[in-house]
């Protein structure tokens, strides 16, 4: 058999729910020659990643590093390390990722107590408060930026309620981290995970996580072994942050390079400036879409700047429009999931994809396709 053709995908503008566009400096970093994963120079690079992640999460947590797999593995790392068979976990569900959390809890042999809100709306603190009267969960899990609906979830009040009930707060920040403020220590978040391919604008492949002192205590007091060998933090921690770095698995060196460079870009821009940019480009897109007669799914005060959930007008074939955007304009946007399949577009303005040019290009393309 002869070799297949060279890899040569068309350059696209990534404006869906992730991955987002990646800066050329990050791609270049990935082509940096490999060194060993226990090479002292690589360990210095890992230390740099951990330090920058602490600044991004705004935390002092020692146990802050990147799991060697995508955001879903970060989610699983949090649940498998904190839950033991027979535990209870309260999970807030207002979209796809809350449901995925419930599945994780069940696979740990723990009992799920669900708090549901309609998709497109926030979880109200009063709902959590009421649910906590009927259970004693080890943790309360909630999504900060629900990518399936475009909702930004306020966390502070729920954090207070959770701690009063003696539970840990576990938060999904896969889509929010790097695009809007995430204050792990100020908001009392005990456990948090994220991903690299959304507002951090690196390729998919790593999942930044952070565990606070209360969470570490719970892990240290486990009676049973973590059921996942690969994600067992009692071992992974020694590789990332132990006094003597011990082999656990071979870190994906090139992805660590990518994350290192992406984090450098974030701090060169500055967090406040970056959040401001995400907001400004969201507003530009919103104004343009509203001028064309489109409506957003989410109430203005809870809209995500990096993920715009827009209702598809009656009579428009949403999949056909997305296909035209891709084929004629090289723009990728996302469709709706679950109940919103066929009814929603999800337009991502994440990281390097959050620019005025991206917004204007998409608005121009939609005008052409829809003749508005
Ligand atoms: C994308 C996403 C995930 C899953 O991350 P993967 O990298 O696709 O595994 C989890 N939670 C939220 C909110 C997401 O947007």
As for ligand 1, residues whose beta carbon falls within 6 Å of it are 18, 70-72, 75, 97, 143, 145, 147, 172, 174-175, 195, 204
Average pLDDT over residues 21-43: 97
Burial class (CB in 10 A: 0-12, 13-18, 19+), 225: exposed
Q: Which atom of ligand 1 is nearest to the CA of 175?
A: 15
Task: Determine the distance separating the centroid of ligand 1 and the alpha carbon of 304, expressed in angstroms.
Answer: 15
Average pLDDT over residues 345-363: 98
Instruction: Find out whether 354 and 339 touch, Cβ atoms under 8 Å.
Output: no
CB under 8 Å to 160, separation ≥6 — which residues? 188
- Strands (E) in the chain, as ranges, are 13-14, 63-67, 88-93, 111-116, 139-143, 145-146, 151-152, 168-172, 191-193, 207-211, 307-311, 331-332, 334-335, 344-348
Give the C-alpha separation, 203 to 255, whole Å. Answer: 8
Q: Which atom of ligand 1 is nearest to the CA of 95?
A: 13
Per-residue pLDDT at 146 exceeds 80: yes
Task: Determine the distance separating the centroid of ligand 1 and the alpha carbon of 328, expressed in angstroms.
Answer: 28
Collapse the DSSP code of 23 into the 3-class scheme (helix H, G, I; strand E, B; otherwise coil) and give the result. Answer: coil
Task: Determine the distance separating the centroid of ligand 1 and the alpha carbon of 205, expressed in angstroms.
Answer: 11
Collapse the DSSP code of 154 into the 3-class scheme (helix H, G, I; strand E, B; otherwise coil) and give the result. Answer: coil
Average pLDDT over residues 162-167: 98
Q: What is the pLDDT of residue 208?
A: 98
Give the C-alpha separation, 308 to 23, whole Å. Answer: 22
Task: Determine the distance separating the centroid of ligand 1 and the alpha carbon of 75, expressed in angstroms.
Answer: 8
| % of residues, the chain, pLDDT over 90 | 96
Task: Determine the distance separating the centroid of ligand 1 and the alpha carbon of 195, expressed in angstroms.
Answer: 7
Average pLDDT over residues 86-103: 98
Nearest to 175 by CA among 8, 16, 364, 69: 16
Task: Determine the distance separating the centroid of ligand 1 and the alpha carbon of 107, expressed in angstroms.
Answer: 18
Q: What is the pTM of this model?
A: 0.98
Q: For residue 289, what are the CA distances in angstroms to 119, 282, 329?
A: 21, 10, 18
Atom 14 of ligand 1, residue of closest alpha carbon: 174
Average pLDDT over residues 293-298: 97
Q: How confident is the model at residue 333 (pLDDT cuts 50, 70, 90)?
A: very high
Task: Order the strands of the 139-143 sheet from edge to edge.
Answer: 63-67, 207-211, 191-193, 168-172, 139-143, 88-93, 111-116
Task: Determine the distance separating the centroid of ligand 1 and the alpha carbon of 243, expressed in angstroms.
Answer: 31
Strands 344-348 and 334-335 come out as antiparallel
Task: Determine the distance separating the centroid of ligand 1 and the alpha carbon of 240, expressed in angstroms.
Answer: 23
Collapse the DSSP code of 108 into the 3-class scheme (helix H, G, I; strand E, B; otherwise coil) and give the result. Answer: coil
Q: Which atom of ligand 1 is nearest to the CA of 97?
A: 11
Q: Which atom of ligand 1 is nearest to the CA of 146?
A: 13
Average pLDDT over residues 289-309: 97
Atom 12 of ligand 1, residue of closest alpha carbon: 174
Q: Which atom of ligand 1 is nearest to the CA of 196?
A: 7
Residue of 16, 20, 72, 151 with the most ligand 1 atoms within 8 Å of its CB, for mutation: 72
Task: Determine the distance separating the centroid of ligand 1 and the alpha carbon of 183, expressed in angstroms.
Answer: 19
Residue of 102, 175, 207 with the most ligand 1 atoms within 8 Å of its CB, for mutation: 175
Phi-psi region of 122 (alpha: psi -120 to 50; beta: other; left: phi over 0): beta
What are the structure tokens assigned to 111, written together? 């009992």
Task: Determine the distance separating the centroid of ligand 1 and the alpha carbon of 174, expressed in angstroms.
Answer: 6
Atom 2 of ligand 1, residue of closest alpha carbon: 174
Across all residues in the chain, what is the average pLDDT?
A: 97
Q: How confident is the model at residue 282 (pLDDT cuts 50, 70, 90)?
A: very high
What are the structure tokens assigned to 274, written together? 């970056």
**Domains of the chain from N-terminus onward:** 13-18+271-371 (3.90.1150.10), 24-266 (3.40.640.10)
What are the structure tokens assigned to 102, written together? 């419930």
């Amino acid at each position: 058999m002869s070799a297949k053709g060279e890899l040569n995908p068309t350059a696209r503008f990534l404006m869906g729910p992730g991955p987002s566009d990646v800066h050329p400096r990050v791609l270049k970093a990935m082509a940096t020659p490999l060194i060993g994963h226990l090479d002292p120079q690589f360990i210095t690079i890992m230390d740099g990643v951990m330090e920058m992640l602490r600044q991004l999460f705004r935390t002092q947590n020692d146990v802050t590093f990147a799991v060697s797999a995508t955001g879903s593995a970060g989610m699983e790392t949090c649940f498998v390390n904190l839950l033991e068979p027979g535990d209870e976990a309260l999970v807030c569900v207002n979209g796809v990722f809350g449901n995925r959390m419930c599945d994780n809890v069940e696979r740990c042999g723990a009992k799920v107590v669900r708090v549901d809100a309609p998709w497109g709306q926030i979880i109200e603190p009063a709902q959590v408060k009421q649910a906590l009267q009927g259970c004693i969960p080890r943790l309360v899990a909630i999504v900060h930026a629900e990518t399936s609906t475009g909702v930004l979830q306020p966390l502070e009040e729920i954090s207070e309620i959770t701690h009063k009930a003696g539970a840990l707060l576990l938060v999904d920040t896969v889509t929010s981290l790097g695009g809007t403020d995430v204050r792990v220590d100020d908001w009392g978040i005990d456990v948090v995970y994220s991903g690299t391919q959304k507002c951090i604008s690196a390729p998919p492949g790593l999942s930044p996580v952070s565990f606070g002192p209360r969470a570490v205590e719970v892990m240290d007091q486990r009676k049973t072994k973590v059921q996942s060998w690969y994600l067992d933090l009692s071992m992974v921690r020694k590789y990332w942050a132990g006094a003597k770095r011990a082999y656990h698995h071979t870190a994906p060196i090139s992805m660590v390079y990518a994350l290192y460079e992406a984090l450098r870009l974030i701090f060169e821009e500055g967090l406040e400036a970056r959040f401001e940019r995400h907001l400004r480009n969201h507003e530009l897109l919103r104004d343009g879409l509203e001028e064309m007669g489109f409506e957003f799914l989410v109430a203005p005060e809870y809209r995500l700047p990096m993920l715009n959930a827009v209702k598809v007008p009656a009579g428009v074939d949403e999949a056909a429009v997305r296909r035209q955007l891709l084929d004629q304009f090289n723009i990728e946007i996302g469709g709706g999931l679950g109940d919103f399949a066929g009814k929603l577009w999800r337009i991502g303005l994440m990281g390097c994809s959050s620019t005025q040019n991206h917004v204007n290009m998409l608005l121009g393309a939609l005008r052409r396709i829809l003749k508005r």
